[in-house]
Chain A
């Protein structure tokens, strides 16, 4: 196990270097010169040269790349170019709202998705199964934007059940603000989850061990919730863990429409302001998180199914 872990961690290094190089080249190629934006309306060539010097963008590319590497290794991306706020502080303070929004959504999506998928797989080809397949297909065909616009208008504005926008910060509760965005996010994500998990479960239900379990006289509940679910859980875990890095970039549409101060909204603002330290930090962090969660998924396979050997 330790050897496997070390090997995987070592393998991450070239991948990460590749990501860093790609991000660096992309920003230098398409990003433009930030000094012209930061210098303001009344800038002259001297002002621009002064800003370029202070940002270090007047340095040769290899030195700039070295600085970027050091920033990744120390997780110190310096200050935001537009707000002068430390990038690490931006990360630290915006991550909370994104996680508080997305983690319950992911948990609910997984629990409800697995439960419904088990139920419909059990009654496959019945009218319930067909109706659910139809409705999930329809639900998947509608954009998140439509869910948000209609949901916000109907549930918050017309019915007044929730605030139109806002986030818990001045003494009002998280539940009050988070429920509607979570429900709308869930409405979008639950349909593909059900379809996917149903497929995983149906694959398992056709296996010989299920027939054997039933022949042994096990209850259907035990067959489905223990034997089938356990074997179907490997692709489910893959799916859930591959969704986790998404927590780092937030749900930018939900955060933007509901004025939630999360990472997703920060990314959009950073792009609008060409705030490259913030964009670079988030891009690289998501890449690292993706690699780490992939590794965790592999480790989880063995935990769920001891027959899986990590080599």
Chain B
């Protein structure tokens, strides 16, 4: 009996714990439980608007991945970048509806004044733009100054922060790289107060930037969430916990946050009057959005509730139950919601809205041009690589692995990105017969075991690298099937992701499937992948060709336009000709929306959240 009584005591304690937890959240005391290790809420409500919006004015969103950090310089994943895009603002941003992407001013009064042959950019910031309220400001009103933008630029290159997006400014502003280099070499601390010619604060709202060389893409750098303007005192106040305390000038601020689980964003009470005035899209879908939203203010929705739902089934059921208002449909759920690419009739009847767009990305198999087996620029090895790439069955990849939710691509610049060529025809079709003919013609003969050998009789083995994930296993199966058709010995090689990156950057990966999603919506983001000096960095193909590199340098100076497009076409052809990479496909982005959501349009900029531009019926 004593035993049973003791057990009852434990149960009573357990129930008490549950009720206490329950009561605490009802009373808004979840932070205290978090501190005591019994909950995980973090309330950031110190200076928030106290008025609770009605339930029908709250937008509910889910994300399959959790945020990493909300310190702009540390962000490298898309979901965190989207969050940053509503919490912080840079000098420039993108037109919500424009495709291809179009830069527009955000915190700048107008587009930068460019002089000195493209080397000097003068930016006039809007006056009286206030940061969201935060204890770091000690109750004082804090408006954005040109010095804040200068600090933000300096901070991106701070070696101590090792920003994954430091490339946005590396080598661009006169003197900034030297400052970072000295700090990296330990010669002196990174000096935020050092005056450099590249960044000049002219007055409280004017910043003059001097570039090492004209750069047509510099505006894109200024529009990235990683350069959302921050105040130095916030960094000093929170130190290495900046990632947990996002304080910007964006339309929303963080009201509550359970890291990796949920977040409540409330309308920034200090946000300036910003009318919804996008007019770029000429297509019917954009026109519908314009009709719905014209005359409203940004942001129209007072509160956004975000939940991290990693499992596709849970996200789908939550959407169907109306617990969330938007769902980025995972490809594994497409058979449940879509029929031949269109929304199923039962969902249409319920008024569910469906938006579809091609992701700004390229996916395809590549070969390493410095690999001892398949590398080299001699005709035989070029033919070998082309034959291997021609055995890649892209349609099967789309049908089987992507469940039909991808589009065939062959150009290195995807749709929606400046420099895309929709008319480009690939010279590397899926054609095992032609590929075998090519191998025969260049001396890769079959031996007695039925497998091909190198022209000198040595073994020929294709080693396909991949990570341990399920999808990459399927990709390996498809690659093996292609090699079997070519009678080439095939080896799959699965390694952890960091090891794969390491091997790739030291030119040890013979072949693998590669994907690249736009960091900024310009063809340069994709073409730089093949640039010779980027070997051991982004040029994982280890491809170096003097002619190609010369053409690339020309395109950098030219900027978007017909002349650059012509050069891109030539460069794309060379990539195929040398058997560097076969661009295969880009995934489709399906977004489903509850009937009450207005103004949704899938932005061509993956890192730009649509939420501030929406309203609820």
Contacts and interface: CB of A to CB of B under 8 A. Distances in A.
A169 B14 contact: no
Interface stretch (A62-70, A79-87, A202-210): A79-87
A152 B314 CA distance: 8
B520 to A, nearest CB: 11
Contact of A256 (B37, B184, B311): B311
A86 B259 CA distance: 12
B37 A41 contact: no
A110 B4 CA distance: 11
A173 B22 contact: yes
Contacts of A100: 17-18, 21, 38-39
A36 B501 contact: yes
B33 A42 contact: no
B537 A156 contact: no
B68 A174 contact: no
A298 interface: no
Interface in B312-361: 313-314, 317-318, 320-321, 323
B40 A171 contact: no
A167 B165 contact: no
B25 A173 contact: yes
Contacts, number: 229
B541 to A, nearest CB: 15
Interface in B471-512: 495-499, 501-502, 505
B243 A111 contact: no
Contact of B4 (A42, A156, A225, A268): A225
Interface in A256-281: 256-261, 265-266, 268-269, 273-274
A156 B243 contact: no
B317 A157 contact: yes
Interface residues of B, number: 80
Nearest to A34: B498
Contacts of B40: 93-94, 96-97, 169, 261
Nearest to B1: A226
Interface stretch (A25-33, A130-138, A288-296): A25-33
A84 B69 contact: yes
Given A37-B498, A94-B40, A230 B3 contact: yes
Given A30-B496, A104-B14, A172-B25, A36 B505 contact: yes
B44 interface: no
Contacts of B167: 42
B28 interface: yes
B259 A85 contact: yes
Nearest to B42: A93
A75 interface: no
B26 interface: yes
Given A42-B165, A256-B311, A168 B21 contact: yes
B184 A107 contact: no
Contacts of B25: 168-174
A50 interface: yes
B307 interface: yes
B558 interface: no
A46 B184 contact: yes
A54 interface: yes
B18 A156 contact: no
A304 B162 contact: no
Given A103-B14, A172-B25, A261-B40, A42 B261 contact: no
Given A31-B498, A85-B243, A93-B37, A169 B162 contact: no
Contacts of B536: 44-45
A166 B498 contact: no
B11 interface: yes
A79 B71 CA distance: 14
Interface string B237-264: 0001111100000000000101111101
B275 interface: no
Interface string A86-112: 100011111111011001100110110
Given A83-B68, A83-B69, A107-B10, A163 B310 contact: no
A178 interface: yes
Of A84, A114, A225, most buried by chain B (CB within 10 Å of CB) is: A84
Nearest to A176: B22
A54 B166 contact: no
B404 interface: no
Nearest to A51: B162
B538 to A, nearest CB: 6
Contact of A42 (B11, B71, B164, B309): B164
B162 A38 contact: yes
A56 interface: no
A40 interface: yes
Interface string A210-240: 0000000000000001100110010000000
B118 interface: no
A163 B323 contact: yes
B285 to A, nearest CB: 30
23 contacts: A36-B502, A45-B505, A46-B184, A51-B162, A54-B160, A82-B69, A83-B68, A84-B71, A93-B40, A100-B38, A110-B7, A163-B321, A164-B321, A168-B22, A169-B40, A169-B261, A173-B25, A178-B18, A257-B314, A259-B307, A259-B310, A261-B259, A269-B66
Give the 7 A-B residue pairs with the shortest CB-CB distance, closest first.
A40-B164, A32-B498, A261-B261, A42-B167, A36-B501, A93-B40, A96-B38
Interface of A: 30-48, 50-51, 54, 79, 82-86, 90-97, 99-100, 103-104, 107-108, 110-111, 114, 149, 152-153, 156-157, 160, 163-175, 178, 225-226, 229-230, 233, 256-261, 265-266, 268-269, 273-274, 304
Given A54-B162, A92-B35, 11 more contacts: A41-B516, A42-B538, A50-B162, A85-B243, A95-B38, A100-B17, A149-B313, A156-B317, A165-B307, A167-B261, A259-B308
